[in-house]
Amino acid sequence: MPFQMTLGEAKDALSRAKHSIARVREKAETAIGQGIEVAEVGATAFGFGYANGRWGGDEGEIKVFGLPVDLGTGIALTGLAMFGGFGKYAEHGVNVGAGAIASYGYRTGYQLGSDAATNAGTSTQTSARMRGARAPAAMNAAPHVSTAGEWDRQGQTVTVYDQPGE
């Protein structure tokens, strides 16, 4: 039996197809927009991280008038975008500002954690916590290799001692 469709049925089918395509395109545009937002934030954080590591000197951060550049840029761009300084491109200003602030936040958090670890030293509490998490029995049966070493990390000598398990 040959395929038959009235003109009205064809118009309805075409209308449904156009509607379905419009919904798919709308969802794709939303996903692409969110991907661009994430890329802007991530690329900005990466860029400031690279710049601070490359040209930040001993402190690991670039400062202008005593203010970290990434923090100052983040505050300026976000504020400017929130008050209409970028017009219809405000979301891009917020994204780049958020990336700059994220760069500063990561670096500051890392430094605080590193300082806390240095201040904690090799206390018995730290050693006990580290030994508390044990590997599965098969892993515990593996041969134990003791290591010791020293290396220079940003002007500080770091010594590592591996103590055999109990």
Task: Quick: pLDDT tens for 7-41.
Answer: 898 899 899 999 999 999 999 999 999 999 999 99
Q: Given pLDDT bands bounded at 50, 70 and 90, which one contains residue 67?
A: very high
Residue 129 domain-assigned (yes or no): no
Residue 54 domain-assigned (yes or no): yes
Q: Are strands 63-64 and 156-161 parallel, antiparallel or unpaired?
A: unpaired
Residue 130 domain-assigned (yes or no): no
Residue 165 domain-assigned (yes or no): no
Give mean pLDDT, residues 96-115.
94
Report the alpha-carbon distance of residue 2 to residue 117 in Å, rounded: 79
Give mean pLDDT, residues 37-57.
94
Q: Extract the tokens encoding 103.
A: 């760069």
Q: Would you say the C-alpha torsion 94, 95, 96, 97 has a positive or negative sign?
A: positive
Of residues 30 and 2, more confidence is placed in 30
Give mean pLDDT, residues 82-90.
93
- Residue 135 in this model has a pLDDT that exceeds 80: no
Residue 146 domain-assigned (yes or no): no
Residue 142 domain-assigned (yes or no): no
Per-residue pLDDT at 42: 96
Per-residue pLDDT at 145: 45
The number of domains in the chain is: 1
Per-residue pLDDT at 33: 92
Q: The domain containing residue 84 runs over which residues?
A: 14-120+151-156
- Residue 134 in this model has a pLDDT that exceeds 90: no
- Residue 123 in this model has a pLDDT that exceeds 90: no
Residue 2 domain-assigned (yes or no): no
Q: What is the pTM of this model?
A: 0.62
Per-residue pLDDT at 16: 92
Per-residue pLDDT at 2: 82
User: What single string gives the DSSP state of each residue in 41-54?
Assistant: HHHHHHHHHHHHHH
Residue 30 domain-assigned (yes or no): yes
Asked whether the beta carbons of 41 and 99 are under 8 A apart, the reply is yes
Of residues 126 and 16, more confidence is placed in 16
Per-residue pLDDT at 159: 60
